[in-house]
Structure 1
């Protein structure tokens, strides 16, 4: 029978016996609950066996979790790293191909425009024994003071770099050892990813075991980038001091060691204070390392730096050199570093159309061949539907001044933006404007030889380029509206290298003279702005680089990929406004001494600016377009002076610039369909003053002369066909690939 137990302390209450699942005996620690009052659970007696499975304690659960994390995050990675370390192969430094020439081609991918041959292509390896010990010590002081004792990587350096970044110290060393830096530059890319860092650590650790420290240091000094296009210490010694490596001094060696960290930000010509600070840090480090005495440190003076030498690529000495400069600038703006340009064996496909480029070159050379030597010209052609630069000429000196980027007064070619602004305000082409002379602050604004149409339509005044009529138009619509329309069309608000805002009077609102082209604009910008008009008000950001591919096939840039590298377009004007403007521009090319294009319509505007109050001209323009090509042409001189033909006659926009424009456009568009412009509503182009007959008078006005005096018949030029593209030499045999890491190979010369 079940036993009767006493429950409770001092209460004398007894519980009735009951049958349990195990028999009539109660389980230890269990008792029947009484209905009279709640009872407390008793502790199990020590001599009775437990029948329940014990639960894990919190400590046991934590230990099991820590063990699992240890296996996942330590044991498995260590095994994987060990496998990767065992499989990694480290080649000799001289087995790595260093000649990485970048090629710039036209849009066909075959016509070579220029090549970028980095100095490392002619790198001269220098044995470590020829590098002065003081120079070696300076490099160690700057980059890795524990180089000869660390295992190829440094945990403390990573911690120190993180600490210095948090504290904002700019003069501390980086987190990578010299071995790691060499591995990254010789075998890996500069991408900031965990995979790349792991590869760097593994190869560095194995290299430190297989190579001597002197071998690693020699390879590092001969491959690292020092700025100024110098790869290797021999090129750096020439670039900064015009000295051979064995003759470098302590001070010079400290300069070279200083620039390794960030060459672009420590160049002596642009960042001398920062370089001097870094130079002092390197020398102080040498004292701390025991490699330089305090006395010698105090006597060391900052050395004299040689000026930057000119680029030696042969394309830089012709017109294509300026294209190369624009390509390099666009690559940097796209995030492609100088190191990638110099070491990536890039294939750079530009937007340049070989036929259009040749047409521009021949137009300039043939037109100016018999003219005074001081005359200069610029020609830029842009595709209105994309913003792609199809032809670019800024001069024949590839390292000289680029006139396509020169801010120049535009004369009456700027009146196009006044027409756009007027149409935006509801003024139509039939709007009547008085063309009588205007006096402003005692200065008379006149037309060519006092020409006047009385009161004629805006369209007629535009065709005749009547200064007085447009000055009155500017008073009506406001000069700021003209500036705004020009900015909308594509004239930038800031020109690189030029202080202040464009189209403004000392940063304030523009003067009324803006309508006569008094403010400076670049030929490139005029071609782009007119292209916006040609594409019914759609603005496209200009670009000259279409695609960039590394030698290993990796695509760095592709403008043809929507949503990635493709530049977005913006509707800046309504199609009605631009198409109406085009209709007013259509007669001007033929009206300007017969420069209509062969077999196709074209909208255009000339411009001429005066040399002070001398009565002579200094800048002459012709800017015009078809639906598929917008071209701006400027003719002038390097320094402001009177521009005259070989016969002594003044040069006007309707003269030599129009000759060049017609030859360029006819040559570039030869063999292509003749496209028509969109039609415009009659109400915008027809009115009581639209049919006013043009005047036959000729004269010389102060800002622009659309049709200069001439006694000869209008000249018509025969289009010059573009020569066939030169054959491209066969590419060299590809180098043999050696795998140094699973999935990572380096080229080795055959």
Structure 2
């Protein structure tokens, strides 16, 4: 009985599990699995990129290519595969997925093997192809779940069908995290080796490919002995795989040494001057048509015109001449002083240096670009340029030039204006009959107030706008415009003076040299424009401003170079300026009095030194220190001028016909070119002028080493010496420097 029952049971099992039924069940199961996979394939779409994968930083570089700053939440700069050497590309394939070029996006055996190793206690294994890792980085998350893994595999198959291998590889190396806050190969190349991705060697590429497996453990700078051993072993593994695939010659491989990375460096942030420069560059790009949203999205490589050496020289000049003299922490008066400066290449319009303040993280307002202070008497050369350009005449019909005699009496009412105006000269000093050259040297307000009336305030404003001064509600065509009562930035004034230095051809200062995105390049305007004033007007103004530096209020800016410039001190001493140029370099320096909370404008009087902080003092000293350093200690370059000396009033007049003159380092000046006692002009511009004040009776505001004229020097040691004002342009002798 028992045997019969047992036999019957086995018989039933055989009937239930025949080979035909097992095979059928297997086939049905396979079909169900395949069907499920197909349904899954249809149901799982390729999603849009996750937010983090598309984030990039903007990279700002000096003109020499060195990184100045990076901005953005993620330190990533996406580069095309054409920017990565082929051997470096292959290091990643050798490290992660040797079958990459042949697979269909997934490796079933590798995934199964990795899963088995994980569940069997041999440690977590990846098993993912490069395509799968790209999908994980770009489309999905880093969650370690079965659902995410399944989606990853399906999407990888679809991506492999839609994209080329090169595109997938580029996406992978650009989205991967390498440690040191570096996302993507470009940021990693900079972080570990201080080079662009295009400059990586195969040895360096193999290290970056190796470090991807465990960035926090394999970073040579922070890894312990085991971590260093592990990453070096993986580095060797990568190179050996390359040899095995025929991508690297065995002899070359044997000669490679492990490329120890550089020590980690702090990220290039926005502290110091970097923040000011980056913000100014962004503003310029937006004026050029790049949207703010586009800049915020990142991915831009912005090469600036900023010269690293000149930038350091400008910061050093401000630190030495100004900041080292101030006790900002303990002195409320010192805390009110703000400095700004812009330096421009006179020939190209490139902004080569910019000083925005003590630091962008301490004082965010950029003092170089702020436009809320008056440029004061630095505007007077624009009045003179307008007079020459418009062939203007005095009230009694004398053409205005450097020899033209004006009445320099302080508080003298202007003649010929519907708007009364009688400005006081600095320290209320009266000069009596004085040439335009002398009036420029000593910044005589009464002369320039009359000159702007003679030219016409509206015409002068037109010249100012053409040169680069910005329009605004404060820019009113009245006689007071002659004293620079409109608002301007150091960037504006550097541009206006650069146009004068460029012989009247418009120069618009340009901070950005190029701006490139991975798929486009910004179109930038040419900094050099059309002629806006005549060459004679620009060059004659340059000649006049040479006298300011040689024997006038700007003597502290003199150095081993030819220079032209002008001082300026605004009403109530709220701002002090020196703007000037050599044949190579145009620089505007301004000091501004500002309440520590960034609000009210304050006087600079007694804030830097006892008394006024006028433009001929610290601004001129900063300008001179910077210019000397920026020019490598000095320059033999000479101004090439075609000047109109002008006519009217006095025995020193020259023909109004323009003549081409090239400045040499050591021309001489004949005393006979300047009348001992100027002949007063006809009384249409003033009443009978008083006698010139006794030079011993008034203390000069800007004393020089000699109260008459600094001694002429010859040779290249002082090519900008006082002998460089050509005979026929009187006004370089017997002058008292003023503010």
Normalising by the residue count of structure 2, what TM-score does the alignment of the two structures yield? 0.52
What is residue 591 of structure 2 aligned with on the other side?
635
Deviation by residue 1:310-360 (Cα, 9 ceiling, x = unmatched): xx9863232210111012222333333455545553321101111221111
Instruction: Supply the distance in 2 between the matched residues of 1:94 and 1:610 (Cα, whole angstroms).
Output: 57
In structure 2, distance between residues paired with 1:353 and 1:662: 18
2:651 aligned residue: 688
Structure-2 separation of matches of 1:430 and 1:92: 74
Q: In structure 1, what is the Cα distance between the partners aligned to 2:356 and 2:350?
A: 17
Change (3 A) 1:525 1:660: same
Residue from 379, 396, 401 that aligns with 2:365: 401
**Cα distance change, pair 458–391 in 1 and its aligned pair in 2 (3 A):** same
- Change beyond 3 A, Cα 1:336–1:487: closer
Point out where structure 1 has 5 or more consecutive residues left out of the alignment.
Answer: 1-84, 123-182, 188-202, 211-222, 224-311, 494-499, 505-509, 560-564, 612-616, 720-750
Instruction: Supply the distance in 1 between the matched residues of 2:283 and 2:297 (Cα, whole angstroms).
Output: 17
Paired residue secondary structure (2:335):
coil
Task: Give the distance between the partners of 1:95 and 1:607, measured in 2 at CA.
Answer: 52
Q: How many Å separate the matches in 2 of 1:516 and 1:204?
A: 71
Which aligned pairs between 1:80-479 and structure 2 lie closer than 5 A?
97-98=53-54, 100-110=56-66, 112-118=67-73, 315-338=269-292, 340-342=294-296, 345-368=299-322, 369-371=324-326, 372-398=334-360, 400-407=364-371, 408-426=373-391, 427-436=400-409, 437-439=411-413, 445-479=423-457
Distance 1:610 1:95 in 2: 53
Q: 1:625 aligns to what?
A: 581
Q: Do 1:438 and 1:444's aligned partners in 2 also have CA atoms closer than 8 Å?
A: yes
2:547 corresponds to 1:582: no
**SS in structure 2 at match of 1:438:** coil
Deviation at 1:451, TM superposition (A): 3.0
Per the TM alignment, residue 474 of structure 1 is displaced from its structure 2 partner at its CA by: 2.0
2:546 paired with 1:601: no
**Distance 1:115-1:432 versus aligned 2 partners, 3 A rule:** same
For residue 603 of structure 1, report the CA deviation from its aligned partner.
0.7
2:481 alignment partner, SS class: helix
Which residue is equivalent to 1:543? 510
* C-alpha distance 342-680 of structure 1, shift in aligned 2 (>3 A): closer
Q: Structure 1 residues 698 and 629, CA, compared in 2 at 3 Å: closer, same or farther?
A: farther
Whether contact under 8 Å (1:449, 1:698) holds in the other structure is no
The aligned length equals 428
2:490 aligns with one of 509, 515, 523: 523
Change (3 A) 1:95 1:376: closer
Q: Tell me: CA distance 1:654–1:487, structure 2 relative to 1, closer, same or farther (3 Å).
A: same
Q: Say if 2:542 is the partner of 1:570.
A: no
Instruction: Give TM-score, length-normalised by structure 1.
Output: 0.51
Distance in 1 (CA, whole Å) between partners of 2:613 and 2:528 is: 39
In structure 1, what is the equivalent of residue 238 of structure 2? none
1:11 alignment counterpart: none
Task: Find the counterpart in structure 1 of residue 475 from structure 2.
Answer: 503
Equivalent-residue separation in structure 2 for 1:343 and 1:205 (angstroms): 29
Residue 270 of structure 2 aligns to a residue in which SS? Answer: helix
- What is the CA-CA distance between 1:439 and the residue it aligns to? 4.1
Corresponding residue SS for 1:315: coil
1: distance between equivalents of 2:702 and 2:635? 35
Please give the root-mean-square deviation of Cα atoms over the aligned residues, in Å.
4.2
Native 8 Å contact 2:560 2:634 kept in 1: no
In the superposition, relative to structure 1, how do residues 574 and 660 fare at CA in structure 2: closer, same or farther (>3 Å)? same
Cα distance change of structure 1 residues 370 and 685 upon mapping to structure 2, 3 Å threshold: farther
Shift of 1:629: 1.3
Aligned to 2:659: none
Please identify the structure whose Cα radius of gyration is greater.
Answer: 1
Q: Is the 8 A contact 2:404 2:646 kept in 1?
A: no
User: What is the DSSP-based 3-state SS (H/G/I as helix, E as strand, rest coil) of the residue aligned with 1:468?
Assistant: helix
Q: Are the counterparts in 1 of residues 317 and 626 from structure 2 also a CA contact under 8 Å?
A: yes
